Chain A
Amino acid sequence: MTTRDRLGLIAIATLALLAAGWMLVVSPARKEAASLATQVSTAEAQLASAQGSITSATQARARYASAYASVVRLGKAVPPDEEVPSLMYQIAQASGQKHVEFQSIVSGSAGSESSAPSSAPVAATPAGFTQMPFTFVFNGSFADLYHLFKSLDASAVRTSSGGLRVSGRLLTLQGVKLEHKASEGEGHAAEGNLTGTITATAYVLPADQGLAGGATPTSPAAPAATSASSGASGTGAPVATIGATR
């Protein structure tokens, strides 16, 4: 064996020894360090997410009072119960202001006047609002009825800023029929007087939600039974107690 061969063997043996040390000792340690670095990154992301949740939840807690008031106001447009008396009061008030005679209200679809009045909602969606159809009859001039329609629509409107202004029960008018009103005892049209028959739909919250989902003015925690006053917004509407049922 020449010296050259001997040096080659020594080099190979040294490299083999170093490679074995790398593979058996150093490399696993580096892999574990890299794995821990990944775990640290993941944990940091989770921490950031949790801190973000805390931030948003803290903001939600800070805005809770206004949010609760907002939900109660929305409950005036779509209450958790049928609230027919407050609806009648609202319409009577609006028609009185517009010099329109509020002649009749029939619960249910138009054309069902012959049946016994039933205020039971007729249509519902699994997670949506329940529809309550009504038929109203008003007497008044064209101009007064026009103002009444505006007033009914104004109970819930979108603002120019994209917000929602609620001052009463939300009604969707499906049909309007205007005819000359026959004078009593004569049978011909009274000058300027019209009879307006309006088919409209009011809405009710799903039965399982309640007004505020079980929240109270001070806490979102769900108590066994909660009641809240819908007159919180102070718009002159009747103070009707809306029972939030769970």
Chain B
Amino acid sequence: MRAVNLIPSEERRGASAGAGRSQGGAYGVLGLIAGLAVLALLFGIAHHQISSRRAQLASITAQTARAQQAASQLTPYTSFMALREQRRKAVAQLVESRFDWAHAFHELGRVLPLGASISSVDGTVASASGASAGASPAATSAAAPATSTTPAGIAVSSSTPPGSVPTFTIGGCAISQSEVALTLLRLRLIDGVSSVSLKSSTRALSSGAAKTNEGACGRDKPTFSAQITFDPLPSAGGASTSATATTTSTGAGQ
């Protein structure tokens, strides 16, 4: 016996609910219309943005052109300010790279003991490239000057570039060899001194009653020579070696 399905075909399982007589075509049309409406809305928004941004871009471009033109007319002023800044930095670097001779001589007079005197001082600033310490001024000035660069980029060649080592070669007299030793110790107290080395200390001898060679300092007084080496000159912007230089001089050593 053959089974017969008595359920109406539109209500059977698997059939779309509400498909109706259009078999669902109405839903498709509605969905399409809705989708097209959304697309049209998005396109309209984008089109509006395009037009407004084009206008904005044109306006900004025109403003930029006017501003650049105005700025270009004022360029000489900015260039001049840059020139002034370069000059200022270059001069400042040269100023800072100097060795404070006045302070060094003041210190020399300050530390010298009473029993010693200075007859000659030969100070030089040897370049860091290797001029020998204690060289003569001629030898020092012949040394190739080092070149440094300011932050602004201008090359500045100082005759006493950073890293140069000032040295003093002093010659003098003392009342005894002990006083020479004291002098060497006191010379180490000079502000900025890195080392003090004795070159010679010779006492002129008298033989018997006859005065022979009294030497430059007198009979029985030793003549000494020493070399004072200072710390290397600081780089530009570094600490000044002698910012506290005083204005008094003892005049000692004469």
- On A, residues with C-beta under 8 Å from B are 2-4, 6-7, 10-11, 13-15, 17-18, 21-22, 25-26, 29-30, 32-33, 36-37, 39-40, 43-44, 46-47, 50-51, 53-54, 56-58, 60-61, 63-64, 67-68, 70-71, 74, 77-78, 109-111, 123-129, 131, 133, 135, 141-143, 145-147, 149-150, 153, 156-158, 164, 166, 170, 172-180, 189, 191-192, 194, 197, 199, 201, 203, 209, 212-213, 215, 219-222
The reply to whether A156 and B81 form a contact with Cβ atoms under 8 Å apart is: no
CB contacts under 8 Å to A, within B132-184, are: 136-138, 140-142, 145, 147, 154-160
CB contacts under 8 Å to A, within B198-226, are: none
The reply to whether A172 and B74 form a contact with Cβ atoms under 8 Å apart is: no
The reply to whether A141 and B251 form a contact with Cβ atoms under 8 Å apart is: yes
The reply to whether B88 and A74 form a contact with Cβ atoms under 8 Å apart is: yes
Q: 27 pairs across A/B with beta carbons < 8 Å? A: A14-B35, A17-B32, A18-B36, A21-B36, A25-B39, A26-B46, A29-B47, A29-B50, A33-B50, A46-B60, A47-B63, A109-B138, A110-B137, A111-B138, A126-B155, A129-B157, A131-B145, A133-B141, A141-B254, A153-B98, A157-B95, A170-B94, A172-B98, A175-B122, A175-B136, A178-B118, A180-B119
Bound complex: CA of A177 vs CA of B42, how far in Å? Answer: 90
- Residue of B27, B43, B136, B140 touching A7 (CB-CB under 8 A): B27
User: Known: A74-B91, A172-B160, A199-B137. Is A22-B39 also a contact (CB below 8 A)?
Assistant: yes
Residue numbers in A under 8 Å from B251 (CB-CB)? 141-143
- On B, residues with C-beta under 8 Å from A are 14-16, 19, 23-25, 27-28, 31-32, 35-36, 39, 42-43, 46-47, 49-50, 53-54, 56-57, 60-61, 63-64, 67-68, 70-71, 74-81, 83-84, 87-88, 90-92, 94-102, 105-106, 109, 118-125, 136-138, 140-142, 145, 147, 154-160, 240, 245, 247, 249, 251, 253-254
The reply to whether B156 and A129 form a contact with Cβ atoms under 8 Å apart is: yes
Residue numbers in A under 8 Å from B36 (CB-CB)? 18, 21
The reply to whether A180 and B120 form a contact with Cβ atoms under 8 Å apart is: yes
Bound complex: CA of A157 vs CA of B130, how far in Å? Answer: 28
Residue numbers in B under 8 Å from A131 (CB-CB)? 145, 157, 159
- Residue of B25, B84, B154 touching A71 (CB-CB under 8 A): B84
The reply to whether A39 and B157 form a contact with Cβ atoms under 8 Å apart is: no
The reply to whether A128 and B155 form a contact with Cβ atoms under 8 Å apart is: yes
Bound complex: CA of A245 vs CA of B61, how far in Å? Answer: 41
Q: Which residue of A lies closest to B68 (CB)?
A: A50
In the complex, how many angstroms separate the beta carbon of A58 from the nearest chain B beta carbon? 7
The reply to whether B94 and A125 form a contact with Cβ atoms under 8 Å apart is: no
The reply to whether A109 and B141 form a contact with Cβ atoms under 8 Å apart is: yes
- Residue of B68, B102, B124 touching A150 (CB-CB under 8 A): B102
The reply to whether B247 and A174 form a contact with Cβ atoms under 8 Å apart is: no
- Residue of A26, A110, A127 touching B155 (CB-CB under 8 A): A127
Residue numbers in B under 8 Å from A164 (CB-CB)? 88, 91-92, 95
The reply to whether A57 and B64 form a contact with Cβ atoms under 8 Å apart is: no
Residue numbers in B under 8 Å from A46 (CB-CB)? 60, 64
User: Known: A125-B147, A153-B102. Is A110-B90 also a contact (CB below 8 A)?
Assistant: no
The reply to whether B80 and A215 form a contact with Cβ atoms under 8 Å apart is: yes
Between A142, A179, A180, A212, the greatest number of chain B beta carbons within 10 A of the residue's beta carbon is seen for: A142
Bound complex: CA of A172 vs CA of B233, how far in Å? Answer: 13
Between B74, B156, B158, B253, the greatest number of chain A beta carbons within 10 A of the residue's beta carbon is seen for: B74
Bound complex: CA of A63 vs CA of B80, how far in Å? Answer: 10
- Residue of A37, A67, A166 touching B80 (CB-CB under 8 A): A67
Bound complex: CA of A26 vs CA of B87, how far in Å? Answer: 60
- Residue of A17, A63, A64, A142 touching B253 (CB-CB under 8 A): A142
Bound complex: CA of A245 vs CA of B142, how far in Å? Answer: 30
Q: Which residue of A lies closest to B144 (CB)?
A: A123
- Residue of A32, A67, A158, A201 touching B50 (CB-CB under 8 A): A32
Bound complex: CA of A7 vs CA of B14, how far in Å? Answer: 12
Residue numbers in B under 8 Å from A221 (CB-CB)? 76
Residue numbers in B under 8 Å from A18 (CB-CB)? 32, 35-36, 39
Q: Which 6 A-B pairs give the minimum distances between C-beta atoms?
A: A111-B138, A57-B74, A175-B137, A10-B28, A50-B67, A29-B46
